[in-house]
Amino acid sequence: MNNSDASSIFHSHAFLGETHDSLSGFGYGESKEKQICQTDPTLGETLMSQLLPVPTRRAPVFLVALMSASLAYAQEKEKSSAAEAVDTEHIFGFVEGSDIGEKGEKEIDHSSYIFAGKPGSFVAILNETDFRYGVDNGFRASLNLLTDYHGVYDSPGIPNRAAFAFSGLGSELDWALLERDKAPFGLTLSFIPQWRRLDDTSGARQESIGFPVQLLADVALSPNQWFCAVNITYAPTFIHTPGTWTTSQPVEISAATSFAISSDIFIGGEMRHLTQNQLGFFTEHALFVGPSVYLKLAENTNVKLAWSAQIPDETTQRLDLVNYQRHQLRLQFAMGF
């Protein structure tokens, strides 16, 4: 707009004001203004563009841009949260989470269970190497290879031994009954049949067939950051001794918590109550407590370490070092592909 246009608009505006002042007392002001505006239909738009401040005229554009940016941020945040969703299967210690992966996922993991702390010199390392495959969404199957090492010297009731040996085979079937993103908590049922050719305490030759059943439950107390889990395991086992078969029905009830101190590191603690039930219900039992740490090495690779120490049982108020050990450790390495 040039100077002559601005001068014209100014004089027109002044004229409107004078006309309104002179005729408003007679009731003609409003109609007169309408007549003047009708003579130049673009005059109102021109006046508004000059009288309104620039930020006000640009407000609709700013609001649209703000809403678009907010929507894009929300969508990006949702994608980021989904990408960072925690797989809880391995973030605890001896306790397992309820996640079992998606259809087609494959995983190899190796766990070493280290038992020590009996009278004398005693170390038993039970190794389990697993291949896991997601058969379908909510169902996974695994094959297990079992190997043992026993280093025993001068431990009462256990023959001296220093040997590494193949100890058995097993499998595992997992059904995801509830998923945390669709239910208040996650819940998985596991069936873990095993055949063993060695006694897991002494390493002596002893055939056994076990049919453990596990119920794995977990809940997110804080999304992607703080989790709690409970495992209940019932493991009826048939043991072949010379000339006869005996049975044991171990039960384990465990609870654990795990907290993310970063996106790749979880620390936690757990309490486990173990019962062998060989001499009757709720006999030969022990209580274990201890910490755990989980480290995510890469997108599909992780390692964890857990340690449990036996403390006096709540009923006997003493340690049971005949049927259990003073210390139990678990070291696990897992890699998905």
Residues 101, 85: Cα–Cα separation, whole Å: 12
How do residues 235-277 score in pLDDT, each as one tens digit? 999 999 888 899 889 999 999 999 999 999 999 999 999 998 7
How do residues 165-210 score in pLDDT, each as one tens digit? 999 999 999 999 999 999 999 999 999 999 999 999 999 999 999 9
Judged on CB neighbours under 10 Å (0-12, 13-18, 19+), 184 is exposed
Report residue 272 as tokens: 């486990």
Residues 325, 309: Cα–Cα separation, whole Å: 8
Q: Is pLDDT of 113 > 60? A: yes
Contacts of 317 (CB under 8 A, 6+ apart): none
pLDDT of residue 31: 46
User: What is the DSSP code string of 194-240?
Assistant: EEEEE-TTT--EEEEEE--EEEEEEEEEETTTEEEEEEEEE--EEEE
Q: Is 13 left (phi over 0), alpha (psi -120 to 50) or beta?
A: alpha
Q: Is pLDDT of 9 > 60? A: no
DSSP-based three-state secondary structure for 47:
helix
Find out whether 130 and 100 touch, Cβ atoms under 8 Å: no
Residues 275, 323: Cα–Cα separation, whole Å: 10
Which residue has better confidence, 14 or 206? Answer: 206
Per-residue confidence at 316, pLDDT binned at 50, 70, 90?
confident
pTM over 0.85: no
Q: What percentage of the chain has pLDDT greater than the value 90?
A: 66
CA angle 206/211/214 to nearest 5° reads 130
pLDDT of residue 276: 86
Placement of tokens 């894009």 in the chain? 72
How do residues 124-169 score in pLDDT, each as one tens digit? 999 999 999 999 999 999 999 999 999 999 999 899 999 999 999 9
Q: Is pLDDT of 29 > 60? A: no
For the chain, list the domains and their CATH numbers.
3-82 (no CATH), 84-336 (2.40.128.130)
